[in-house]
Amino acid sequence: MHYMIEEIREEKDLLDKYSTEHKKDSELALNHIEKSNGCIISGNGTSYNAAYYLSLLLLKRDVLSVPVFASEFNKFMNAEFSFKNREVILFSQSGETSDIISAANFGKGKGASIMSICNVPGSSLSRLSDISIITPAGHEKSVAATKSHLGQLLSSLSIYFAREPDEFRKLLGKVKEGFEVIMKRGNEIKTIAERLLPKVVLLGSGLDYPVAREGALKLKETCSMITEAYPTREFLHGPKQILDDSWSVLILSNEEEVKQELSKLSRNVLDLNAIIHEEFKIRFHSEIADSILKVLFVQLLSYYRAVFLGLDPDKPSKLTKVITS
Ligand code: AGP
């Protein structure tokens, strides 16, 4: 048994944890964020995808927020940029990644308030933070982050819904129902994974875009596949040129015209909305609930594909769990 699939299964417990525990730190975080003059949100890899997701959520709350790769943080935030009254929000599973630590030190040095969302209590990042939020995903063994990423997204939602706890619980209940259905349809996801062509492009709009990015990253890490991720319609503005019958297209967001157009170029265009809502019969609840279910789907897709290829998804040959170099 691989850790990756065990950790994906543990995501159900994580949903329960967020439904039952009232998160006081989320209210504190939202107050801070709303009082600030905008947020710079950062992370690497999977944690960057969480940063992107939170920045989209905060825009929905009328908070100006910009996602920045932690590895680019010091270069992007040059001498002209003022951190005065800005909130720096840093995501990290480990809290020890060198890029995130240097972003935290850089922000602190410039007088910014640092908030972190981290999976390891007492980590270097948590200790450097003015506000430290811990994702209760527990120790994650697989190099491919899964449950910790769900924790990052749920903590982001917990901040977003800090003043609407009932709505958050209702949403989590719906996600849990969908989660159980998707887990039961594992064999169908396995078949989809086995039929993927050697290269995959994932397309998603709104909250589905960071999910598409995460799916592309998971397939790279666990299966060494060539993958791309684009906002759905953005793919038409040039990148479409790469498409041929060696590419699968996984469309996360409903765009019928795009689907029709791309189906003329690739024989393997998959519509994730059709899969989860029509085939799996999961009732649509909201864009947010859908985005979380799609995270689960792309995680399972990567897992099954890796197993099909005879690869160990827990230990990609060229990666380590924490990048400190
Ligand atoms: C996730 O599957 C990867 N192992 C990688 O992208 C990771 O998210 C990145 O290196 C950041 O790590 P951190 O979250 O521990 O800071």
The model carries a pTM of 0.97
Rounded to the nearest angstrom, the distance between the alpha carbon of 322 and the centre of ligand 1 is 7
Q: Which of 3, 42, 46, 298 to mutate to test the pocket of ligand 1 (most atoms within 8 A of CB)?
A: 46
**Mean of pLDDT values over 67-94:** 89
Return the domain boundaries, the chain. 3-163, 172-308
For residue 22, what pLDDT band results from cuts at 50, 70 and 90? low
What contacts 74, CB < 8 A, 6 or more positions away? 102, 103, 106
- pLDDT over 90, % of the chain: 92
In angstroms, what CA-CA distances link 10 with 51, 219, 245, 252, 301?
22, 20, 36, 24, 17
User: In this predicted model, what pLDDT tens digit does every residue of 280-298 receive, in sequence order?
Assistant: 999 999 999 999 999 999 9
Residue 322 burial by CB count (10 A; 0-12/13-18/19+): exposed, middle or buried? middle
Q: DSSP state, 276?
A: I
In angstroms, what CA-CA distances link 296 with 10, 127, 146, 152, 228?
11, 31, 8, 13, 18
The yes or no reply on domain 172-308 and CATH 3.40.50.10490 is: yes
- Please report the pLDDT score of residue 255 as a whole number: 86
**Mean of pLDDT values over 51-63:** 97
At 66, list the tokens.
């910009």
| Residue that has been written with the tokens 């995903």 in this structure | 137
The CATH code for residues 3-163 is: 3.40.50.10490
CB atoms within 10 A of CB 160: 22
User: In this predicted model, what pLDDT tens digit does every residue of 141-161 receive, in sequence order?
Assistant: 999 999 999 999 999 999 999
Atom of ligand 1 at shortest distance to CA of 218? Answer: 2
- Please report the pLDDT score of residue 257 as a whole number: 93
Q: Do domains 3-163 and 172-308 have the same CATH topology?
A: yes
Rounded to the nearest angstrom, the distance between the alpha carbon of 277 and the centre of ligand 1 is 31
- Please report the pLDDT score of residue 156 as a whole number: 98
C-alpha 192: how far from chain center: 21
Say whether pLDDT at 21 is over 80: no
Q: Which of 323, 324, 325 to mutate to test the pocket of ligand 1 (most atoms within 8 A of CB)?
A: 323
**Mean of pLDDT values over 222-226:** 98
In angstroms, what CA-CA distances link 135 with 18, 194, 275, 297?
10, 32, 30, 21
**Is 125 a pocket residue for ligand 1 (Cβ < 6 Å)?**
no
- Please report the pLDDT score of residue 80 as a whole number: 78
Question: What is the SS3 assignment for 64?
Answer: coil
Q: Which of 41, 90, 94 to mutate to test the pocket of ligand 1 (most atoms within 8 A of CB)?
A: 94
Question: What is the SS3 assignment for 3?
Answer: helix
User: In this predicted model, what pLDDT tens digit does every residue of 23-44 receive, in sequence order?
Assistant: 779 999 999 999 999 999 999 9
Average predicted confidence (pLDDT) for the chain: 95
- Please report the pLDDT score of residue 325 as a whole number: 84
At 148, list the tokens.
């910790």
